[in-house]
Amino acid sequence: MNHSTVANAEVVRLITIPISHYCEKVRWGLDLLKIPYIEERHVPAFHSFATRKYGGSSVPVLVTKSGNFTDSTDILHYLDTLSRESHGLYPKEPELRREVEELEELFDARLGADTRTWAYFYRSGDRKTMRTAWCNGTPLFERLGFEIAFPLISSKVRQVYSITADSAASSLQGIKEVFEIVDRRLAGGKTYLAGDTISAADIIFAALAAPVLLPPEHPVSVAKIEELPIEMAAVIKELQSTAAGVYALRLYREQRHVS
Ligand SMILES: N[C@@H](CCC(=O)N[C@@H](CS)C(=O)NCC(=O)O)C(=O)O
- In the reported structure, the alpha carbon of residue 50 is separated from the centroid of ligand 1 by a whole-number distance in angstroms of 14
Give 48-69 pLDDT, tens digit per residue.
Answer: 999 999 999 999 999 999 999 9
Tell me the pLDDT tens digit for each residue of 137-195.
Answer: 999 999 999 999 999 999 999 999 999 999 999 999 999 999 999 999 999 889 999 99
Which value, to the nearest 10 degrees, does the dihedral of the CA atoms of residues 111, 115, 118, 122 take?
Answer: 180
> What is the β-pairing status of strands 37-41 and 61-64?
unpaired
pLDDT at 99: 97
User: What is the C-alpha R_g of the chain?
Assistant: 18
- Residue 213 identity (one-letter amino acid): L
With vertex at residue 83, the alpha carbon angle to CA 80 and CA 85, rounded to the nearest 5 degrees, is 120
CATH class of the 94-255 domain in this structure? mainly alpha
Query: 17 CA to middle of ligand 1, Å?
Result: 9
Beta carbon of 58 within 6 Å of any ligand 1 atom: yes
> 37 in ligand 1 pocket by Cβ < 6 Å?
no
| Residue 185 CA, ligand 1 centroid: distance in Å | 28
* Whether the CB of 161 sits within 6 Å of ligand 1: no
| Ligand 1 contact via 16 beta carbon (within 6 Å) | no
Enter the CATH code of domain 3-82.
3.40.30.10
Domains of the chain, by residue range, sit at 3-82, 94-255
Q: How confident is the model at residue 1 (pLDDT cuts 50, 70, 90)?
A: very low
Decide if 209 contacts 245 (C-beta within 8 A).
yes
